[in-house]
């Protein structure tokens, strides 16, 4: 089997789908690995390291493999260069980018979306959403500390004692928990809120305080472990209660998201208005509409003397380790696709293979992707 890795073409994307360490293991397992020249340069991985690992580097071969491994969704031009029957692995945004799924189906590409991998125990090593959220949560804590015009930790000096900053993290998924841990390491007093009561113990284990809102909402966790979509009434009560909490914070890091939908609005303008001048909000949900109604994706703005940071593709800002983690996820998924002799073998009876597949045999086969594309059950 031939595995190829192109140089990412999306603007601002610095990650690469394969690192030399993983390439070496795949070559040892009988996989022919080829990369486009410069594929790993933005992750500080020169071509020579891949060649030392046993991979080949060749111009125009990044999309030529039986399997193509990418990070960002492919462009129409990239899809046009793939052969019918090619297997594609990458982030494909199946619930929000229906045109990509349609184009992949029309091209006869069998596509597997890393974000569609089922949330089951045996698939944890393939969970790229979690690995990249770890990077984003860490960076969010650093951004909050950097942008806040105050110390995070308590300092006792000859000039007096500085009280520690108060930081609130909204959402306690992987990114939120990492933001909590990072903010705590930097010395802040951290509180966290999540609509899922089950995460209270995880928040406490990191030394943060779980914020309980008296809004009559027991729990809001769906069967997949994500936060469910709240009703309009629940959302309004939640926003009003959070505004009072947010007003007493120096920094807020928001990470709340619902897969395939606009990010829930948690921070209303009145909450921002209540914060002390010079406070900061880091909104990790900026790409999907933002948790703060004043967030502007990809921008840092100041509203009511509060700095609001709306980073996009934050994992790409740490390409070295983000690529390392992502490549391990890809390697784990490939282990289900390649037999002992290094040949490609797709077993659609496998829950992971079936669950992550978006297009196959000219059809969009993923239920969520079909719905996003406006297709009925029997439509192609």
What are the residue numbers of the active site?
A: 119, 124, 127, 130, 226
With beta carbons less than 8 A apart as the criterion, state whether 200 and 180 touch.
Answer: no
56: three-class secondary structure by DSSP: strand
- Say which residues have a Cβ less than 8 Å from residue 1's Cβ, sequence separation at least 6: 30, 31, 32, 65, 66, 67, 338, 342, 343, 344
In contact, 186 and 141? CB cutoff 8 Å: yes
**Counting Cβ atoms within 10 Å, is residue 231 exposed (0-12), middle (13-18) or buried (19+)?**
exposed
CA distance 142 to 132: 16
The CA distance from 32 to 62, in Å, is 13
**CA distance readout (Å), 281 to 40, 69, 132:** 33, 35, 21
When computed from its CA atoms, the radius of gyration of the chain, rounded to whole angstroms, is 22
Instruction: Return d(Cα 380, Cα 357) in angstroms, integer.
Output: 15
Instruction: Please provide residue 114's backbone torsions phi and psi, each rounded to the nearest 5 degrees.
Output: -60, -30
Query: 3-class DSSP state for residue 140?
Result: helix
Sign of the Cα torsion 282, 285, 286, 290 reads: negative
338 vs 319: CA distance, rounded Å: 27
Which of helix, strand or coil describes residue 304?
coil
Beta bridge partners of 112: 89, 357
Of 46, 67, 40, the residue nearest 330 (C-alpha) = 67
Sign of the dihedral defined by the CA atoms of residues 322, 115, 126, 176, in that order: positive
């Amino acid at each position: 089997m031939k595995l190829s890795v192109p140089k990412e073409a999306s603007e601002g994307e610095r990650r690469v789908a394969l690192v030399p360490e993983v390439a070496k293991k795949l070559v040892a397992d009988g996989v022919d690995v080829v990369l486009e020249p410069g594929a790993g340069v933005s992750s500080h991985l020169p071509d020579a390291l891949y060649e030392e690992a046993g991979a080949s580097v060749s111009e125009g071969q990044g999309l030529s493999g039986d399997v193509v491994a990418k990070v960002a969704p492919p462009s129409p031009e990239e899809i046009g260069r793939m052969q019918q029957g090619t297997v594609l692995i990458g982030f494909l945004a199946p619930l929000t980018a229906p045109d990509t799924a349609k184009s992949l189906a029309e091209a006869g590409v069998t596509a597997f979306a890393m974000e569609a991998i089922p949330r089951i125990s045996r698939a944890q090593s393939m969970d790229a959403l979690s690995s990249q959220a770890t990077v984003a949560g860490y960076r969010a804590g650093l951004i909050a500390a950097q942008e806040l015009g105050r110390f995070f930790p308590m300092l006792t000096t000859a000039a007096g004692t500085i009280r520690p900053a108060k930081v609130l993290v909204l959402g306690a998924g992987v990114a939120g928990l990492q933001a909590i841990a990072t903010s705590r390491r930097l010395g802040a007093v951290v509180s966290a809120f999540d609509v899922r009561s089950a995460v209270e113990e995880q928040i406490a284990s990191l030394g943060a305080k779980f914020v309980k809102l008296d809004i009559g909402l027991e729990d809001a966790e769906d069967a997949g472990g994500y936060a469910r979509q709240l009703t309009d009434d629940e959302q309004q009560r939640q926003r009003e209660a959070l505004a009072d909490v947010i007003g007493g914070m120096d920094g807020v890091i928001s990470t709340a998201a619902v897969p395939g939908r606009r990010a829930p609005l948690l921070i209303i303008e009145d909450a921002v208005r209540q914060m002390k001048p010079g406070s900061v909000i880091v909104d990790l949900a900026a790409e999907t509409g933002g948790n703060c109604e004043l967030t502007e994706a990809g921008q840092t703005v100041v509203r009511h003397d509060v700095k609001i940071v709306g980073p996009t593709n934050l994992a790409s800002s740490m390409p070295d380790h983000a690529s390392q983690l992502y490549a391990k996820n890809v390697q784990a998924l490939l282990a289900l696709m390649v037999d002992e002799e290094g040949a490609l073998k797709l077993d659609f009876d496998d829950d992971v293979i079936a669950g992550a597949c978006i297009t196959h045999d000219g059809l969009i086969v993923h239920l969520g992707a079909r719905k996003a594309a406006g297709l009925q059950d029997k439509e192609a």
